Structures are given as C-alpha cells and as structure tokens.
Amino acid sequence: MKLLEIQSSVRLEKSISRALSHEFIEALQNLHPDLQHQQQDVGTNPPAHPTELWTTANYLPPENHTPEMATVMTESDRLIAELLWADRIVLGVPMYNFSVPSTLKAYLDNIVRVNRTFTFDPQTHTFKGLATGKKAIAIVPSAGNFVVGTPLREMNFCDPYLRSILGFIGIEEVEIVPIPNQFMDEEIRQQEVENARLKLINLAAYW
C-alpha cells in the first residue's frame, strides 16, 4: 500500500482532522507493515495559486515550455507525481465556511490538469480521469451538523465538491467521514469524535 496523506487544517495541536487522520494511518500501518507513507501538508505549507503564466503553460506540451514556464510548473508536476504514486489517499479537511480550506483548493487546482490527471475528447465533449485505481478517505470536522437529513445539509459544499473533483480525475471511491457539531458542548463534541474514530477503525480493517 502506498499512502498519501494530505492535511489542510491551519491548526496543529488542536486539529481534530489531523489527530484522527494520524490514528487511522497508524491503524493501517499496524495492518500493513509494508505501507509506504508520504505527507503533503497544505495547511502549513500551501502551494502557489495558478497564475496567467501557469495557465498558459498548462495547455502547452512540456517541450514547448519556456524556461519560465518550466519553473512555474515545477511544484504542480511534483504534486501530481506524488498523487499518481499513491493508491490510497487520506485527506484531513476541516469545513471552513461551508467548503474546503482555500489551501486545499489551491492544491486541487495544481493537480487537476489536462493530459496529466484527466483528458478531454473534443469530438465527444467528454472527460476521462487518469488518476484511477485509487481510494480516498476525507475526514471532515465541522462546527455544525451538515450531514444528509439535517436542515443545514444544503449548505454543505465540502463533501459534494470533494466527491466531484476527485471523481473527475478518476478517484471514484471516496469515503467521507464527518465529525459534526464541533461548536457544541464538550459531551456532544467528544461523542461525535468517538463516532468518527470507531468508523475509521472499521474502515481500516478492509480499506
């Protein structure tokens, strides 16, 4: 198993998504002693946002890149190589203002690239993901309760976006593990954390 861990919380010691991600990865390591693990921490080390030069280079074959284009695409190329290397992806994704952290959006903008992680057929107007054969788990703490069946569900732009963007590049097996109600009282918060922890323990056994 080759695992890529992507963390996007700006918090370190008090981050629930980081803590449960690490517990889940530790459980996987116990089950798979040969597990290889790389981490990409966009919460503390965010990638650069795409620029005009980046966008121009993105639609040109590498052999047509100027030295400046080659330089500006270096980080994106590295992030894509890391993603394609992995067959399992664990994402720590706290919900910020009903969606993903902006640093994670910048990361995704760097890895969703034509002819690298997806292709487009101009004749049929169809897209095909190239990052296939992978599974992803997103651990998603939130202040309130945005899960299916709750009044705030329609304000949840985090879960559907993750499923859509990962599916677009070929990662169709996406498990969302919510940790809701983290702005409630201590007993409720801890119960939600424990519910997520138990779910992750069960997932580790067969994921």
Which segments are annotated as binding site for FMN? 9, 15-17, 95-98
Rounded distance between C-alpha atoms, residue 94 and residue 143, angstroms: 9
Q: Which residues make beta-bridge pairs with 174?
A: 136
Q: Burial, 5: exposed, middle or buried (Cβ in 10 Å; 0-12, 13-18, 19+)?
A: buried
Any residues with CB less than 8 A from the CB of 86 and at least 6 apart, and which? 2, 3, 4, 38, 134
Rounded distance between C-alpha atoms, residue 57 and residue 64, angstroms: 8
Rounded distance between C-alpha atoms, residue 138 and residue 148, angstroms: 16
> What are the structure tokens assigned to 178, written together?
């919510």
Residue with tokens 């709750």: 150
Rounded distance between C-alpha atoms, residue 58 and residue 193, angstroms: 41
Q: List residues forming the annotated binding site.
A: 9, 15-17, 95-98
Judging by DSSP bridges, how do beta strands 88-92 and 126-129 pair with one another? Answer: unpaired
Start-to-end C-alpha separation, the chain: 10
